[in-house]
Structure 1
Amino acid sequence: MARILVHITVGPDNPTKAALAFLIAKSIVAEGHQLALFIAGDGVHLLTAQAAASTEGLGTGKLQEHFEALNAAEGTEFYYSGMSAKARNIAPEQVVLRGAQAAMPATLVQLTVACDKVLCY
């Protein structure tokens, strides 16, 4: 199976696209592929419990449900931009994706090179 990177920069101001990004991530895992997820820019707003509970896309589902499925999955890699989170006053303890690690841009570059496919939202 493939190792797929999903890079998310869209925030809660576009709930349909934001939920779609996580729906695709959930689908990657469901299909048996290896998921690497990197959230940056305004996308880090989605990582809080409040955003997860209130974000629902038109035809792309509820963000909270996608997070629950991703948190239950094994073998996933979750990263978020530490710089983006700091600039938006999001502390590590507010991040609701289990095992998500703050990372620098170099991690995104390394993941891009290492993964078979990259999807950006």
Structure 2
Amino acid sequence: MKTYCIHIIFLLSFSVMQAQSNPGTPPPKKLTFLIHITQSQDPTRAALAFLVAKTALEEGHAVNLFLAGDGVKLLQEETLNQLTGVGTGNLREHYDAIVKGNGRFYLSGNSAKARGMTPADLKDKPAEFALPTVLIRLATESDRLFTY
């Protein structure tokens, strides 16, 4: 009887473990995120946008960032090196992680030109100037869109 109870307990335990692991469940789908940033005046929001991008990349998702308006300033070296958000971290650290994770930056060409940016500002960065048509294309190709 004792042996019989031990076998029953073992079988029940094994059944519970099998049900919990459920190997038929597919892994979570990896998504493509578009993060649209239009401001740079609020350091906390700016750093938060980069933190969200970094986090999505760390979780295996694809990320594109489209910077427009004053947001284009975020890729200037001075801004990257100096901006730190309250509770949202350092922009340079987030940027470096985004680059390492193969994130891609698109900057509104008109916004950048109006703020005195040149191709030299994008040298050695995974970034390019883009028209609004690129923003629309990225939005339609993305699974999720965040705006900061």
Q: Deviations over 1:1-46 (max 9, x none)?
A: 00110001111x2100000000001111001001111111000111
Q: Give 5+ residue unaligned stretches, structure 1.
A: none
Residue type matched to 2:90 in 1? K
Q: Normalization by structure 1: what TM-score?
A: 0.93
Q: Deviations over 1:39-82 (max 9, x none)?
A: 110001111110011100000000010111112123x3321111
Q: Is the 8 A contact 1:25 1:35 kept in 2?
A: yes
Please point out which of 58, 71, 96 is paired with 2:99.
71
Residue type matched to 1:43 in 2? G
For the pair 1:108 / 2:135, whether they are aligned, the reply is: yes
Structure number with bigger Rg? 2
Which residue in the other structure is 2:34 paired with? 5
Q: Please state which structure has a larger fraction of its residues in helix.
A: 2
Task: Report SS of the residue matched to 1:10.
Answer: coil
Cα distance in 2 for partners of 1:97, 1:78 equals: 12
Q: Which has the higher contact order (CA 8 A, sep 6+)?
A: 1
Q: Give 5+ residue unaligned stretches, structure 2.
A: 1-29
Equivalent pairs, count: 119
For the pair 1:21 / 2:49, whether they are aligned, the reply is: yes
Which residue in the other structure is 2:110 paired with? 83
Which residue in the other structure is 1:117 paired with? 144
Q: Normalization by structure 2: what TM-score?
A: 0.77
